[in-house]
Structure 1
């Protein structure tokens, strides 16, 4: 199995501890992006994974690429270009009743200015079995949307499994095209999607009662009816208690069958960024490892829960750590 992901990578800048940005005298640096986080989590779990993106041709771009390689991600097909900059985002980590906040500074990035023709997708995907992308990627620019479409078309020709986290970010769609027009043809090429009832309503006009089993099932059935290539729909449901306390469960619709996990209690939350990326990477791993859809979903949900305890965008947990919790060892006792 080899997984290829496609999307923007940004530098993340955060005050230490739980300081607010106006208090910060220094900022901690890491790198991440929804699609790249999936590749890095899978690589850390031992799955061959490559990420494709466009970086600026200077020290920051090369530092971001080196960050991915540090965790085992293949970056050989990344484009380095003089057109644009490295996108930034600033994270202020919340606590208790004060939510975390993000400030984006990503306009005119190298990824937004990429040339779709620069990527030879048949070559990039020739040894791969799975392509993953997120709805953030085609939201960034018309060029990024075209490159996403090209990647999906190549994956379909080559017989890969294609997955997407539709992840609708209304404020990102600024280049004159509507998500409601761009996303459906892309999603039509997917075998598996991560989609909530809210995203299905916003993007596809599919209405279902949010936060309920029946609502998720009805939404999934309507998605599959509209996009027949889709065979599986997954999502997490959250019951947020505070910035420091989350409860999550996993949901899966697979060709007419419904699966769910218990809610897992996460407190204190160390870093929730990348929780959704950890869920889909966990499901990709679980689906390839276990014969049971229930086990694959359980692995994905616990992997996502564990990400909330890990600093940074990337889920640095091993399959053994996830499986230990799958066996009911949920006390957090010291492992010697």
Structure 2
């Protein structure tokens, strides 16, 4: 077995992330934002979080979304450019930017996310609207998530169009199985849409429950009923899930799974990466307190791409990606602000 994943990643060419750019509005849970007339926000979106991390880590990074053309969105575009993200493929059309509301903090499960993204510029994209010949020039890797086809049938069709165009050009494709139940509202369940898209993906990342609900991958009977922390069962499930994905989706070369469990006010966190008949398991990270859960999975995905792009070993890829994801839990924004050196320093601390 080799120690590198056989994925195409040409040095100097860009990684293109595709998804909806959003503003995340962050009211506090105590209602102080009403009294103080202050409402913090972040530029967000799962795929933009990946693009932002890659650019910060000196991987040539491009981002494709759609926004209305106005003074505010042009300022947002400039902010992305300032972060060294190539926005040349950005579409400026439509009438509105998507929003979502989610407080900051470590206990978000009781707050709930509120989406306000219907009829956004991105949501109105259609097949034939994007010139993939132009968009894919100088691109070696294409990344998207299951959030994109969750929005509507038209976006699902655009994703399929993009994946076919990427495969025709031998571009590696990664998929994050983000499951957002509040978005799947157009009379199709993820299982009706995601398997066709997964057929074109080289790397699939998520967790064993998402793989079950979105790709139809079997679960151990115990795990169908609960998400309890049982390391032996979970690692066996990671192995079984990964093997099943590779058997079902012939383009797929590697499968990554994350495991994150509440631990008081903090979490327990570890990950796995399966390729060429071997499951690699990360160290387990434990924290008694964290700052913000948003974007941790995106940071893990970016860490994987960073490792593949730089041709690291399997162990190095997983170690970096896991440390990057855990580090993000201490950063109060949608995307990481930690450099490669910052993340390596965390890895060194945790090894001591």
Separation (CA, whole Å) in 2 of partners of 1:30 and 1:291: 32
SS in 2 for 1:153: helix
CA spacing shift, 1:291–1:248, aligned 2, 3 Å: same
Structure 2 regions of 5+ residues with no counterpart?
1-10, 224-232
CA distance in 2, matches of 1:19, 1:44: 34
2:326 counterpart residue number:
305
Whether the 8 Å CA contact 1:247–1:264 is kept in 2: the answer is yes
When the two chains are superposed, the root-mean-square deviation of aligned CA atoms in Å is 2.1
State the alpha-carbon separation in 1 of the partners of residues 219 and 148 from structure 2: 26
Q: 1:207 aligns with which of 190, 215, 218?
A: 218
Structure 1: tracts of 5 or more residues without a match: 332-336
Tell me which residue corresponds to 1:296: 317
Q: In structure 2, do the counterparts of structure 1 residues 201 and 284 end up closer, same or farther at CA, with 3 Å as the change threshold?
A: same
**In the alignment, which of 175, 181, 185 is matched to residue 196 of structure 2?**
185
How do residues 263-282 of structure 1 correspond to structure 2 at under 5 angstroms? 263-282=284-303
Which residue of 2 is the match for residue 334 of structure 1?
A: none
Match of 2:88 among 62, 76, 89: 76
1:231 maps to 2:245: no
**1:53 and 2:75 equivalent?**
no
Change (3 A) 1:221 1:97: closer
Q: Distance in 1 between matches of 2:282 and 2:258?
A: 10
User: What residue number does 1:255 align with?
Assistant: 276
Q: How many aligned residue pairs are there?
A: 328
Distance 1:264 1:147, change over 3 A: same
Counterpart selection for 2:263 from 214, 232, 241:
241
SS of residue paired to 2:161: helix
**CA 1:20–1:164 in structure 2 vs 1: closer, same or farther (change >3 Å)?**
farther
Return the alpha-carbon distance in structure 1 between the equivalents of residues 111 and 76 of structure 2.
Answer: 24
Q: Distance in 1 between matches of 2:109 and 2:61?
A: 36
Distance 1:253 1:20 in 2: 45
Q: Alpha carbons of 1:20 and 1:104: their partners in 2 closer, same or farther (altered >3 Å)?
A: farther
Give the secondary-structure state (helix, strand or coil) at the position aligned to 1:233: strand
Bigger drift between 92-101 and 288-297 goes to 92-101
| TM-score scaled by length of structure 1 | 0.91
Q: What pairs with 1:316-335 in structure 2 (closer than 5 Å)? A: 316-329=337-350
User: Displacement of 1:21 after TM fit?
Assistant: 7.2
